[in-house]
Structure 1
Amino acid sequence: MSSDDQTPDPTPTRSRRRLVIALAAVAVALALVVAFVVVPAVSGGDADEPGAAGPGSGSSSPTTGGSSDDGTTAPTDTVPPAAGPDTPEAPPVGLDESPAVVDGVTVRVKSLDAVDGEAALPGEVTGPAVRAELEVYNSSAAPVDLSTVVVNLAYGADRTPANTFSTGTSSFPASVAAGATADGVYVFAVPVDGHSDLRLTFDYAVDVPVVVFEGSTS
């Protein structure tokens, strides 16, 4: 048989095709490896950065007096500090006067009467007493806090402190509205011979001078 009649050997062509398929398979495998290793690392990198919000984050340090969720300013505590024994005193005034406590706020004694005190709690003793009714007037444009007000009474030349009866005593409310008045009633145990020399004090706050009334029962 002549050389022109021989059939070409397909072996080299099949070998090249197998090589191409093998290389393609390797390339696909490498791509999958890169996808599984590189992509998770990139997506999780932000959570490791300082200040980044990760799963379960969202907590923050508590603040006071800041802004609320609706963008408005949160109210701050406006209650004045409570009065204390070291609070300075204003010069004494008569029972018929209405001295200023702070700007826009005055206090006066509506009545100071001799009464009989009624014991109700342990330690109280029924006997002569003085009933003091005071009125606070708020002429300012905003409510005024009265929650720290303390009213005391002393009698005689020695300024003996008088105990308060629970029965008949009704302290000032927590606040007084703008343009309004608020009353407080206090019943003190005072012997009859002490009714002619009384010293009634109105303590508003530790940094406000104590208002002092002096006089006798009517």
Structure 2
Amino acid sequence: MANDHEPPPTADLDQTEDLPDPARAGGGWRTAAIVGAIIVAIIAALVVGLSLTGGAPPSALPSSGPSAAASDTTPSSSAPDEAVPTEAAPPVEPTPDMTPVDQPPAAEPVPISDPAEIAPALTARISAIEAVDGEAQGPGEVAAPSIRVTVEIDNATTEAAALDTAVVTAYYGSDSTPAAELREPGGRAFPASVAAGESADAVYVFSVPPDERDAVTILVDYSLDVAPLQFHGEVPR
């Protein structure tokens, strides 16, 4: 009897859609191999770079520019400051005694022809007065009618008397106007001293107007510790 049923279909052994594709399976391996080769190349490049720079990364190498030289010479701020030596102050020397000397007031005027005592046994007098024409010889001097006065100091003491501090000045008129001193004719200063038992003189020329010569004062100032002497009166015109 004929079989009305067809045999069941057999499975198609050539169905390849479910089997793994060797090409696709091998594609992932090749990708991994390429990535690995790139990584190896990067590592090799880094190794070569490190060997050329001496094994240190570029940021760690010292700079050879001006900033590096400046940093080498700049002292550390943590170093202690060195002490700067200072010179010792000079010793203070004692100042001399500057106490002013109070000179005694001028003695009462005496006539021009009279002697006057400077100190015991030391006497001054006007030994001569002459009318002369004063000559301008030094700076600031002006030629004018003048008087020439000779002052003599007698030393009757037992020791030499110093004359280097003696000063002679002249004044004239009711207002005691100071008379300008001239050097010529014949001016001469006192010597440095006068010996015991001796006398010494000096000559002074003063500019005094002829119409003011009826009241003239010659002041002899021997030193600061004695009173100045005043010789007052009329002098030749």
TM-score class, shorter-chain normalisation, is 0.5 to 0.7
Alignment deviations for residues 115-139 of structure 1 (CA, whole Å, 9 cap, x no partner)? 1101112211111001100110000
How far is the alpha carbon of 1:194 from its aligned partner?
1.4
The aligned residue for residue 121 of structure 2 is 104
Contact 1:130 1:195 in 2 (8 A): no
* Aligned-partner SS, 1:193: helix
Determine the C-alpha separation between the residues in 1 that align with 2:115 and 2:156.
13
Structure 1: where are the runs of 5+ without partners? 1-83
> Residue in 2 aligned with 1:196?
214
Q: Could you say which residue in structure 1 is the equivalent of 2:173?
A: 156
Task: Tell me which stretches of 4 or more aligned residues in structure 1 moved more than 6 Å.
Answer: none
Pairing of 1:1-218 with structure 2 (within 5 A): 87-167=104-184, 168-218=186-236
Report the 3-state secondary structure (helix = DSSP H, G, I; strand = E; otherwise coil) of the residue aligned with 2:211: helix
After superposition, the Cα gap between the structure-2 partners of 1:95 and 1:85, relative to the gap in structure 1 and judged at 3 Å, is farther
Structure 1 Cα separation of the partners of residues 104 and 205 of structure 2: 23
Paired positions, count:
135
User: Sequence identity of aligned pairs in percent?
Assistant: 40
Distance 1:90 1:108 in 2: 14
Q: What's the offset of the Cα at 1:140?
A: 0.6
Question: Structure 1 length normalisation: TM-score?
Answer: 0.59
Contact conserved, 1:95 with 1:214, CA < 8 A, in 2?
yes
* Higher-Rg member (1/2): 2
Change in CA separation of 1:131 and 1:118 when aligned onto 2, cut-off 3 Å: same
User: Alpha-carbon deviation of 1:85?
Assistant: 9.7
**What TM-score, normalized to structure 2?**
0.55
* Aligned counterparts of 2:102 and 2:230: Cα–Cα separation in 1: 14
Change (3 A) 1:87 1:164: farther
